[in-house]
Amino acid sequence: MTARIVVLGSADAFSSGGRGNTAWLLEDGIAPCTVDFGPTALVALKRLGRDPQRIAAIHLTHLHGDHIGGIPMLLVDAVYRAHRTAPLDITGPPGTAERVQALWRDFYADAAASELEFELRIHELRPGDTARIAGREAAAFAAQHHRGDRIALMLSLSSPAGRLAFTGDTGQCDALHDLARGADLLCAECTEFEASKAARRRHLAWSELRSLLPALGVRRVLLGHLGEEVRANAPTIEAEARGLGLDLRVCDDLAEIALFPGHPPTPPL
């Protein structure tokens, strides 16, 4: 089959441009997984004709609602519609197990009071940790996003499609170079077109990525977590990226992007 990334959502926390919250579906010949699973992710899967219960793992970059808020909806779909029996793995930063259980109780207290018919396995990762999950090696890096002692992660997944890197939400930080080293594809956030004081150090802007990406050494880049100004300037961004020798795409919802360009499309998993 053609290995691909599917864009379940491409917008920031505010669903700018009427788009879904950013989440990525990886279909690479083994059991599908996602990176993040916000409030709009389940709808996107069903619009695409994907069975949510085929997902073997969800990798969370951090615990903000636009990245984690769809998990109770996935669980209720698993319990009452699909009658799921296959295990589900969730990785995330410290606090993930408590947050997932709290969301499940708050959304569906009756369902949460009963034991699930499938194994829900939650793995909490810190920067520097690696874990073998659903056939892929997941490695965690420190993102620069939260204030205080909370931890946000950047992630790389080593899969049959190569090494794929995901920034999650982050400002510029040294760990971006470690994340990108050896990656075949970088899925990067790009919340703003020009960096503002409000977002600087917590999010990335195209004005920063334009200088940063050539130094990272990854030639294929997908941009998500887009604010309205970034989406409006998509042709400019893609043209500037070509001038830098980058194969870069400003993503839109429900796009299916081959990880090996030139291969013909094949039916989804």
Specify burial of residue 156 (Cβ count, 10 A radius: 0-12, 13-18, 19+). buried
Q: Is residue 267 pLDDT above 60, yes or no?
A: no
Of residues 120, 173, 131, the one with CA closest to residue 156: 131
Residue type, 216: L
Alpha-carbon gap, residue 3 to 258, rounded angstroms = 6
Q: Is residue 143 pLDDT above 80, yes or no?
A: yes
Each residue's pLDDT tens digit, 223-237:
999 999 999 999 999
Q: Is residue 198 pLDDT above 80, yes or no?
A: no
> Could you tell me the domains of the chain?
4-258 (3.60.15.10)
Quote the DSSP letter at residue 19: P
Compute how many other C-beta atoms are within 10 angstroms of the C-beta atom of residue 12. 26
Stretch 209-232: mean pLDDT: 97
Average pLDDT of the chain is 95
pLDDT tier for residue 199 given thresholds of 50, 70 and 90:
low
Of residues 165, 241, 181, the one with CA closest to residue 206: 241
* DSSP-derived pairing of the beta strands 247-250 and 256-258: unpaired
Q: Which single residue is written with the structure tokens 């997908």? A: 222
Q: What percent of the chain has pLDDT over 90?
A: 92
Q: What percent of the chain has pLDDT over 70?
A: 95
The continuous run of DSSP H or E covering 208 comes out as helix 206-216
Alpha-carbon gap, residue 198 to 51, rounded angstroms = 39
pLDDT tier for residue 263 given thresholds of 50, 70 and 90:
very low
pLDDT tier for residue 107 given thresholds of 50, 70 and 90:
very high
Stretch 29-47: mean pLDDT: 98
Stronger pLDDT, 196 or 203, i.e. the higher one: 203
pLDDT tier for residue 200 given thresholds of 50, 70 and 90:
low
Q: What is the pLDDT of residue 1?
A: 62
Stretch 238-244: mean pLDDT: 98
Q: Is residue 17 pLDDT above 90, yes or no?
A: yes
